[in-house]
């Protein structure tokens, strides 16, 4: 650490850390660090075990659960959405583009392959009220809730019940 000053007081060495040091920022930087990232360039693309895993977003609305996933370049027949009990499974395959002999790749960061992602849905989902839609590279799966588990607004009256 370049910003650490060492001071000698009575033969003891004490390190002084500057006030602007942020331990949370340091931890975030350490968690993002991948020591093997530079080494992936050493292996040919076909030997790298790089799989495709789309990014997912799951949210709850008043009457449904909505799952969205980024699926750029994928077609509807490349995807499969299943619901078994309360387990929602989304799977598919993203095929690599055809490589011509003699092509030279300078950077190869796109990933291809099969993926499967499962979500355990909470009790109270309506298995008959499920819909999936792929539009502009975004898969949207909507799983409806049963009416009895949906939140109901209760009006507050001015009169109290008579006892």
Residues with Cβ < 8 Å from 6, sequence gap 6 or more?
13, 14, 15
pLDDT tens column, 84-107: 988 999 999 888 777 777 777 777
SS3 state at 38? helix
Residues with Cβ < 8 Å from 48, sequence gap 6 or more?
40
- Going by the DSSP 8-state scheme, the letter that residue 148 receives in this structure is G
- pLDDT at position 38 is 61
**In the chain, where are the structural domains located?**
50-149
| Contact criterion met (CB below 8 Å) for 131 and 142 | yes
pLDDT tens column, 105-151: 777 777 778 889 999 998 888 888 899 999 999 999 999 988 877 77
Q: Closest Cα partner for 71 from 95, 94, 105, 39?
A: 94
**CATH number of this structure's domain 50-149:** 2.60.40.790
Average pLDDT over residues 4-17: 52
- pLDDT at position 1 is 43
SS3 state at 142? strand
Paired tokens of 15: 């390190």
pLDDT tens column, 15-72: 555 567 888 888 877 777 776 666 655 555 555 555 678 889 999 998 899 999 998 8
């Amino acid at each position: 650490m370049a910003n650490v000053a060492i001071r000698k007081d009575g033969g003891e060495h004490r390190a002084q850390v500057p006030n602007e040091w942020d331990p949370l920022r340091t931890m975030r930087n350490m968690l993002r660090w991948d020591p093997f990232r530079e080494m992936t360039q050493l292996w040919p693309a076909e030997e790298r075990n790089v799989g495709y895993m789309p990014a997912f977003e799951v949210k709850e609305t008043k009457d449904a659960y909505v799952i969205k996933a980024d699926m750029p370049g994928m077609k509807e027949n490349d995807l499969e959405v299943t619901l078994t009990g309360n387990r929602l499974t989304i799977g598919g395959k993203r095929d690599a583009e055809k490589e011509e002999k003699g092509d030279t790749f300078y950077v190869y960061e796109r990933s291809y392959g099969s993926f499967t992602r499962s979500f355990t849905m909470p009790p109270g989902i309506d298995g008959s009220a499920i819909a999936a839609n792929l539009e502009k590279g975004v898969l949207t799966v909507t799983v409806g809730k049963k009416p009895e588990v949906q939140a109901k607004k209760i009006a507050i009256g001015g009169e109290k019940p008579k006892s």
